[in-house]
Amino acid sequence: MGNLTNKVAIITGGAASIGRDISRELHAQGARVVIAARTAEKGNRLADELGAGALYVQTDITDDAQLENLIARAVNEFGGLDIVVNNACSYDDDGAQTDRQTWLSTINTSAISAAILGEMARPYLAKNKGCIVNIGSVSGAFPHIGRWAYPVAKATLRHLSKTQAVEYAADNIRVNMAVLGHIWSDPFEGLTQDNRAHADAVSSPLNLMGRVANGSEVASVAAFLASDAASYMTGAEVAVDGGYSAMGPEGHEPLMPQLMSLAE
């Protein structure tokens, strides 16, 4: 028996990359998973892989009617709703030159849709004392040169998580955020031409673990936050960043020996 046995979970962006790993982990822990994604081929493939207790619903999360259909399908198929994982996001970003449409689309996908879906799911989550798990990023707390829209969208999601936690406490709905660092995912694969060793090398100075994370390492934290084992946690930000946010500007190389090296 898993920690999520008989729970019903919606995972947005749940058919690919980190979202796929979250869908797999929640299902492995006994949840009935509703995979929300735009790409039918990926969604159906994952639902077929997982088998019983998995449902794919083609969903554009920026369309309210499709969000309503997503919740209705989950409730009709599995009898209720316990967990919403807001994982889907947009990586579109041209830094300071980002045009208005990209700004609006990025924030709409990454934060506004999470707010709308959470509110639509609220009565069902309240009935079951359910929870929301938002998938955030260190980008929501730290600026990154050359990137504007994505970090601002993640900062918006970060504040939304706190707002939801405060607002939904009256309904016994917990809301927590997993704050991700460098994860081996579709963007990293694409940027490195699927070179994991190169990704690890570039990431190493920026975290204490010396590597990027596997998607499964994110999924296990998301599953914990969704479970009753986290029953006294709400409004929390759980860092899944290999120590990225713990480091100061000096990184993890000692300063004193570097200062002294000139005298040698």
Q: Quick one: which of 93, 239, 236 has its CA closest to 152?
A: 93
Longest CA–CA span in the chain (Å) reads 73
**Out of 56, 91, 124, 150, which one is annotated catalytic?**
150
Length of the chain: 264
Q: Quick one: which of 215, 192, 204 has its CA closest to 244?
A: 204
**Partners of 54 in the beta sheet?**
33
d(CA 186, CA 194): 9
The four Cα atoms 79, 67, 138, 90 give a dihedral, to 10 degrees, of 140
Annotated catalytic residue 91: no
| Cβ-Cβ contacts under 8 Å for 150 (sequence gap 6 or more) | 89, 90, 91, 92, 93, 106, 110, 137, 139
| Cβ-Cβ contacts under 8 Å for 26 (sequence gap 6 or more) | 4, 7, 9, 11, 33, 83, 85, 219, 222, 223, 226
* Sheet hosting strand 83-86, strand order edge to edge: 54-58, 32-37, 8-12, 83-86, 131-137, 174-180, 237-240
Residue 162 token pair? 């706190």
Which residues are designated catalytic? Answer: 150
